[in-house]
Structure 1
Amino acid sequence: MDLKEIDILGDNVSQHWYYRSKAKAMTKLLGNIRPSSILDVGAGSGFFSRHLLSNSEANEAWCVDTSYRNDSDDFETRKRIYFRRHIDHVDADLVLLMDVLEHIADDVRFLQLYIEKVPKSTKFLISVPVFECLWSSHDIFLEHKRRYTLRAAAATH
């Protein structure tokens, strides 16, 4: 979750329809994937990592976001959650990029950098906003660079 939205939604984030439905979709997409360690890139509040720590066997999460003022540690249901401005390497078996790539000018290079920071067997779950025709003032507020199409996303592979 973008830290800009925390200022607006406050403590009601977990009740907002968008984040509830996105967390439900994330859980469904993961299916039988049972991560033990999560790397949440562009994590903001850590909403999605916290959701997985509370609702799965995952035992730790590394939330990385350049917007953090300082590195810090916390717990979610007695599981460690680490908030870091950057990270060099982590043995995560799941990487989350939830609404992150649309903020990055060179999204392909950015993704490659994180592929290099985790083991080769690590799974990635990526979500991005779609359809340029849906571009709105909310995209501008969140400082998005683009929206995606399936064709454009596949072409960057």
Structure 2
Amino acid sequence: MLGEGADDHWYYQSKARMITHHFHQRPSSILDVGAGLGWFSRWLLENDRGDGATCVDPGYETESEEKLPNGRTVRYVRETGESDADLVLLMDVLEHVDDDVALLSTYWDLAPPGATFIITVPAFEFLWSAHDDYLEHRRRYTVRSLERTIRAAGATPERLHYYFGAIFPLAAAVRLLKRGRTSETSDMRPAGPVANGLLKGICGAETAVMKLNRLGGLSVVAVLRKPA
């Protein structure tokens, strides 16, 4: 796994910057569901894309707070029964739970009017590999199957598209060639400086057209806005 190497890794940097292309305005309070280490919330706060964040994950042993160098605060809690967040993140979370509709419905009902939701999930069941087994995924999605989940949760998607489409053909070929193999690690590994910079550049350029991409990519992205 990447550990501290995630901070400059092309995948995390590209996905974080992708998030910011879906803001109508700068968020103030962030609720990060299934946040793990809280990397995306920390990145947003460190780049002045929010004033504070609450990361929710039942895997935390204890609840805690982290003060970032710029004075922003991240709270880490096992659960929450209320939220005033104007940005709710579910970054690669829904694929981990048996009932994705119930999880999304819970936080949709919890969010205040006007809140923006940004959801990412892995794309296409035919790309299933040992990577998914290792991460204990339940499913992969298409834009249509994610839309069905969203509507079943009582919400309406404002935007649905694929991301990492530029590298999709090569990544899909590698996944298919490795089909049937077992692995005790994730596919997410450090990249050399040249490859890392090249991939960041390719994915960065893709953000200009990603909202039109309903053909293919490694991730499905959804944006929802709760009626004010």
TM-score of the superposed pair, with normalisation by structure 1: 0.90
Q: 1:41 aligns with which of 14, 23, 33?
A: 33
* Alignment partner of 1:68 is 2:60: yes
Displacement of 1:121 in angstroms is 1.5
Question: Could you tell me which residue of structure 2 aligns to residue 154 of structure 1?
Answer: 147
Secondary structure of the residue aligned to 1:102 is: helix
- Say which one has the larger Rg: 2
Matches of 2:84 and 2:148, distance apart in 1: 28
Displacement of 1:21 in angstroms is 1.2
* Alignment partner of 1:98 is 2:94: no
Displacement of 1:116 in angstroms is 1.8
Question: Could you tell me which residue of structure 2 aligns to residue 12 of structure 1?
Answer: 5
* Alignment partner of 1:84 is 2:63: no
Question: Could you tell me which residue of structure 1 aligns to residue 195 of structure 2?
Answer: none
The runs of at least 4 consecutive aligned structure 1 residues that moved more than 3 Å come to none
Matches of 2:15 and 2:49, distance apart in 1: 19
Displacement of 1:152 in angstroms is 0.9
Question: Could you tell me which residue of structure 1 aligns to residue 178 of structure 2?
Answer: none
- 1:87-131 per-residue CA deviation (whole Å, 9 max, x = no partner) reads 110100010000000001110111011112221211100000011
- Give the letter for the 1:41 counterpart: V
Question: Could you tell me which residue of structure 2 aligns to residue 5 of structure 1?
Answer: none
Q: 2:45 aligns with which of 26, 47, 53?
A: 53
Question: Could you tell me which residue of structure 2 aligns to residue 135 of structure 1?
Answer: 128
Question: Could you tell me which residue of structure 2 aligns to residue 21 of structure 1?
Answer: 14
Matches of 1:122 and 1:154, distance apart in 2: 18
Count of matched residue positions in the alignment of Structure 1 and Structure 2: 149
Secondary structure of the residue aligned to 1:40 is: strand
Displacement of 1:29 in angstroms is 2.4
Compute the RMSD of aligned alpha carbons: 1.1
Displacement of 1:57 in angstroms is 4.4
TM-score of the superposed pair, with normalisation by structure 2: 0.63
Q: Using the aligned pairs only, state the percent identity.
A: 50
Q: Which has the higher contact order (CA 8 A, sep 6+)?
A: 2
Displacement of 1:85 in angstroms is 0.6
Mark the runs of 5 or more structure 1 residues left unpaired by the alignment. Answer: 1-7
Matches of 1:87 and 1:43, distance apart in 2: 13
Residues 10 and 155 (structure 1 numbering): CA distance in 2 closer, same or farther, change over 3 Å?
closer
